[in-house]
């Protein structure tokens, strides 16, 4: 396997013309013959370069609306020939095939065509055939041929040509070959996804092609002995934490990203609501509130559990203002997520060099579809996103007492938050703010008791005469299998309960609610979150 390979002839056929003129100029400095097709050839000529058309090389014109132009032995023989194999060299001589030492190809803009909502016929025409064939041929024969598929690699190629008198090294060719196979794999993956999900309408295709690109290697994973990285979808995707602009602060960790995603996912539920603040710790909300201003929402959310909020993640449904930034900066906060931030807020946070500020633009649609993936030993689990939502019209009153308007509003607020709390989940809410949250327990009774304890601690910390659970609504992410969890909620002062229903002991639980004078609503929908 040869190290230095002089580049005497290069074939260029690119959809993305970025950097093409500079690359051609560099190749020209080294006397490289340029071969090209269609629009690329025109762009090169317009830039003053001499170009040989592929049709001149093959003796066949481009035909069938450009579908057939490079699929020819003269092209692929020139790319695939093993230059130190006498039989290959003899075949090249016998058929007048000249060697192609460099292939510069990027493919038809399939993803962009899909993203702009093009009709099916146009999408099909943007499935590249000749391009991937040339890319794979050159990558396979990287011992003798360089392959460049990404414009960002032009600089490295030019630097190497200049350093080696117009030759490429094996090390660069190997790296570019790996990039090229990833390029075609990603391209084919996006096509397969479109056919499966969009064209065929399948929810769970027989083969699930996953394509992603490395965005960043992270300091470590959940723990220092684990390695971690952030990948982004290679094709069109909804915006989220992964696409947010980091305005300031040190690099995000694995846990920061995971918690910020949980916070954004929850605050997005309130994107059409009054100013709302979400505080998350270890992917669970520890305080949520909606108020007339962001500052008031922050104060109410923090009051729910100021201990857990220390070192937490804050997400807001409105652009961050200076007053709210000043309030948030009063305690140690890891990350703040908001659609935007004004100049005052940015200036205040600039004094907190370690605090990360992430700006997301428009909040994601909580009703969006899509699949969620989880790795397990030996495979993956896939499920649709939990985008289930309920309104007042979906609720069924199952107790003698009907909830008041205030109780109903608190119940729906608590229910929305419970959807984002790890099971078993219990959420008390009153007046548009959480009063106590119990998460991740093995039984629902303990979640109720933990949430009540948090509420009592909050009352003591804030000097309230009683916990905010008194007169609150309480939400349970799944049905109460026994009356004990409901009784614990009543003992904490809740006056309204919202839960899915569906237990074989529903009658027993309803009777306990009636005995305690509670109003209870069934949603008919549960929100397990493991």
Catalytic site includes residue 72:
no
In 3D space, the residue among 348, 289, 339 whose CA is nearest the CA of residue 319 turns out to be 339
- Full-model pTM: 0.87
The backbone torsions φ and ψ at residue 389, rounded to the nearest 5 degrees and listed phi first, read -135, 155
At residue 2, the pLDDT reads: 66
The backbone torsions φ and ψ at residue 377, rounded to the nearest 5 degrees and listed phi first, read -60, 115
Q: Is 167 helix (H, G, I), strand (E, B) or coil?
A: strand
In 3D space, the residue among 461, 460, 518, 464 whose CA is nearest the CA of residue 476 turns out to be 518
Residue carrying the six token digits 């929100």 = 527
> Three-state secondary structure along 483-497?
HHHHHHHHHCCCCEE
Determine the Cα–Cα distance for residues 67 and 131; give it in Å rounded to an integer. 10
Q: Is 23 helix (H, G, I), strand (E, B) or coil?
A: helix
At residue 263, the pLDDT reads: 97
Determine the Cα–Cα distance for residues 69 and 25; give it in Å rounded to an integer. 25
At residue 69, the pLDDT reads: 67
CB environment 221-248: b (16+ within 10 A), e (fewer)? eeeeeeebeeeebbbeeeebbeebeebb
Give the distance from CA 174 to its chain's centroid.
30
Beta bridge partners of 437: 427
Beta bridge partners of 381: 374
Selected catalytic residue, list 30, 72, 140, 174? 140
Tokens of 151: 């414009």
pLDDT in tens, the chain (530 residues): 568 889 999 999 998 888 998 899 999 999 999 998 888 888 889 888 888 887 777 666 776 766 766 777 778 788 988 888 889 888 878 888 888 999 999 888 888 888 888 999 999 988 888 889 889 999 999 999 999 999 999 999 999 999 998 999 999 999 999 999 999 999 999 999 888 888 888 888 888 888 888 999 999 999 999 999 999 988 777 889 999 999 999 999 999 999 999 999 999 999 999 999 999 999 999 999 999 999 999 999 999 999 999 999 999 999 999 999 999 999 999 999 999 999 999 999 999 989 999 999 999 999 988 889 999 999 999 999 999 999 999 999 999 999 999 999 999 999 999 999 999 999 999 999 999 999 989 888 889 889 999 999 999 999 999 999 999 999 999 888 888 888 888 889 999 999 999 889 999 999 999 999 999 999 999 999 98
Q: What is the DSSP letter of 422?
A: P
At residue 1, the pLDDT reads: 56
Catalytic site includes residue 282:
yes
Give the Å distances, CA to CA, from 156 to 15, 88, 175, 456.
20, 30, 11, 63
What angle do the packed helices 444-462 and 483-491 form, to 10 degrees?
10
Q: How far apart are the first and last CA of the chain?
A: 52
Selected catalytic residue, list 282, 351, 374, 430? 282
Residue carrying the six token digits 């490395």 = 214
Beta carbons of 421 and 284 less than 8 angstroms apart: yes
At residue 37, the pLDDT reads: 84
The backbone torsions φ and ψ at residue 183, rounded to the nearest 5 degrees and listed phi first, read -60, -50
**Element (H or E) spanning 346, and its range?**
helix 343-350
The backbone torsions φ and ψ at residue 449, rounded to the nearest 5 degrees and listed phi first, read -70, -40
């Amino acid at each position: 396997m040869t190290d230095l390979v002089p580049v005497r002839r290069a074939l260029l056929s690119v959809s993305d013309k970025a950097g093409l003129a500079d690359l051609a100029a560099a190749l020209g400095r080294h006397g490289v013959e340029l071969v090209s097709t269609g629009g690329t050839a025109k762009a090169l000529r317009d830039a003053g370069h001499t170009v040989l058309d592929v049709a001149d090389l093959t003796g066949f014109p481009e035909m069938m609306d450009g579908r057939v132009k490079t699929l020819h032995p003269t092209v692929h023989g020139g790319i695939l020939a093993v230059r130190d194999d006498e039989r290959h060299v003899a075949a090249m001589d016998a058929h007048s095939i000249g060697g192609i030492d460099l292939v510069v190809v990027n493919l038809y803009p399939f993803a962009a065509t899909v993203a702009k909502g093009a009709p099916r016929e146009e999408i099909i025409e943007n499935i590249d055939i000749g391009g991937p064939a040339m890319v794979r041929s050159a990558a396979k024969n990287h011992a003798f041929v360089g392959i460049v598929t990404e414009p960002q690699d032009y600089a490295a190629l030019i630097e190497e040509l200049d350093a080696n008198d117009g030759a490429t090294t094996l090390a660069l060719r190997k790296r570019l070959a790996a990039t090229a196979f990833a390029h075609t794999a990603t391209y084919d993956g996006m096509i397969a996804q479109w056919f499966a999900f969009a064209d065929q309408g399948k929810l769970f295709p027989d083969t699930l092609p996953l394509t992603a690109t490395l965005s960043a290697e992270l300091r470590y994973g959940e723990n220092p002995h684990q390695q971690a990285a952030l990948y982004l979808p290679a094709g069109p995707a909804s915006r989220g934490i992964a696409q947010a602009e980091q305005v300031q602060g040190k690099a995000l960790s694995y846990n920061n990203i995971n918690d910020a995603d949980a916070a954004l996912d929850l605050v997005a539920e309130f994107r059409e609501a009054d100013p709302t603040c979400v505080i998350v710790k270890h992917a669970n909300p520890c305080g949520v509130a909606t108020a007339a201003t962001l500052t008031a929402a922050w104060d109410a959310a923090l009051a729910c559990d100021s201990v857990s909020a220390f070192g937490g993640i804050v997400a807001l449904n409105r652009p961050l203002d200076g007053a709210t930034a000043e309030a948030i900066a009063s305690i140690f906060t890891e990350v703040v997520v908001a659609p935007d931030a004004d100049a005052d807020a940015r200036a205040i946070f600039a004094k907190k060099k370690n605090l990360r500020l992430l700006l997301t633009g428009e909040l994601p649609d909580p009703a969006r579809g899509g699949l969620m993936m989880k790795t397990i030993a030996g495979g993956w689990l896939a499920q649709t996103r939990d985008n289930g939502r309920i309104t007042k019209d979906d609720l069924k009153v199952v107790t003698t007492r009907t909830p008041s308007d205030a109780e109903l509003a608190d119940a729906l607020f608590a229910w929305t938050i419970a959807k984002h709390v790890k099971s078993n989940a219990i959420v008390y809410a009153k007046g548009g703010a959480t009063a106590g949250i119990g998460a991740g327990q093995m039984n629902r009774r303990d979640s109720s008791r933990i949430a009540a304890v948090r509420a009592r601690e909050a009352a003591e910390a804030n000097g309230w005469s009683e916990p905010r659970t008194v007169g609150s609504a309480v939400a349970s992410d799944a049905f109460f299998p026994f009356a004990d969890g409901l009784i614990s909620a009543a003992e904490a002062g809740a006056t309204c309960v919202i839960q899915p229903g569906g237990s074989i002991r529903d009658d027993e639980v309803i009777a306990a609610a009636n005995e305690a004078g509670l109003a209870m609503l069934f949603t008919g929908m549960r929100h397990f979150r493991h």
